Amino acid sequence: MAAVTVAVIRFGGSNCDRDAVRALEHLGIDAEIVWHEDGLPADPSGVVIPGGFSYGDYLRAGAMAARSPVMAEVHEVAAAGTPVLGVCNGAQIGSESGLTPGAFTTNRSARFQCEHVHCRVERADTPFTRAFDDGEVVALPIAHGEGRFEVEDDRYGDLVDEDRILFRYCDADGEVTDAANPNGSKGNVAGVLGERESVAVLMPHPERATLPDLHAGTDGQGLLRAFA
Amino acid sequence: MTAYTAVVTVRLKHGVLDPEAERTQEALERLGFDLADLRSADRFEVDLDAESAEAAADRADEMAERLLANPTIHDYTVEVEER
């Protein structure tokens, strides 16, 4: 049977779930919110782990939701090739659950930061970036307190070698500089790939840069078209 | 079975930036304290019953591995004492 619906998982404390559904529907992509305790629908066409503050960020951001039963299902569909995207708290959940490498922890500023940033597309041959060119600069909003990407130095080298860095924070000209790094992320990493290129997490919010009326640009559309 | 308390201490690995600890140090210095450095850690006290101190430590160790610590950024220690 044809898969038709993107499952946007809602945990207690998710707050970008409706935004994600609305952004996807704006692109003509069928999507529905799925309460985590209900599990994934059969054969979803994709999975979005949305932003928010699941479980109040207890212990560490994403730590609790990462250990909920629905994440075992997400790992299964991800391994089978279904596109899976974690955004912001969804990125924290994804990394905490081992879906993607590294960790997202306290911003260098020790503050919650709500800003518009630029990101450079590090590889354009993934479902999430095929709308872009290699090296293209996209404008996306961030809103997080724990978005600093950390990973062991040797593991970081592996990620670079394996071409698993998806986005890096950069300036408007595409230069990856410390000044353009909003949160102190290692290597300015804003988003990384999982074991497969159909699994990705990022701290910026594509769903907040999809509806033209929001005046945050529409670069997020390119990412969400992974689910079309 | 013996009653134990396992103390799991989770701290950032050496070299991992701790912005909250840095701000805490700055606040202490603003209060007039003289200090060279400050590190923070999370301490979990887990009451449990086990056959031996080793078994209690093993169980607490697994708790740290699977939830209490994030091995990407954290080191942890486990200490067990009878309760």
Sheet holding A137-144, edge to edge: A31-35, A6-10, A46-49, A84-87, A199-202, A189-193, A165-170, A113-121, A137-144
Q: Which of A16, A88, A119, A170 is catalytic?
A: A88
What's the CA gap between A119 and A145, in Å, rounded?
Answer: 18
Confidence of residue A216 (pLDDT cuts 50, 70, 90): confident
Give domain limits for chain B.
Answer: 2-82
CA A177 to chain centre: 22
In the predicted structure, residue A26 carries a pLDDT above the cut 50: yes
Question: Is residue A1 a part of any domain in this protein?
Answer: no
Q: Which of A95, A101, A109 sits opposite B19 (nearest CB)?
A: A109
In-domain check, residue A24:
yes
Mean pLDDT, rounded, for A173-200: 98
CATH, residue A77? 3.40.50.880
Short-list A112, A161, A167, CA closest to A138: A167
Q: Determine, yes or no, domain membership for A97.
A: yes
Q: How confident is the model at residue A3 (pLDDT cuts 50, 70, 90)?
A: low
Q: Identify the CATH number of the domain defined by range B2-82.
A: 3.30.1280.10
Q: Which among A135, A114, A117 is positioned nearest to A179, based on CA atoms? A: A117
B19 vs chain A: nearest CA distance in angstroms? 5
Q: Are A52 and A89 in contact (CB under 8 A)?
A: yes
Query: How many Å apart are CA A69 and CA A17, to the nearest integer?
Result: 19
Total tally of structural domains belonging to chain A: 1
Nearest-neighbour CA in chain B from A212: distance (Å): 36
Q: Using 50, 70 and 90 to split pLDDT, how confident is the model at A214?
A: confident
Instruction: Indicate if the alpha-carbon torsion angle A139, A216, A147, B63 is positive or negative.
Output: negative
Q: Is the pLDDT of residue A44 over 80?
A: yes
Report yes or no on A134 lying in a domain. yes
Written as one letter, the residue type at A172 is A
Question: What is the domain range of residue A210?
Answer: 6-227
pLDDT of A116-140, one tens digit each?
A: 999 999 999 999 999 999 999 999 9
The H or E element spanning position A64 is helix A63-66
pLDDT in tens, B9-62: 999 999 999 999 999 999 999 999 999 999 999 999 999 999 999 999 999 999
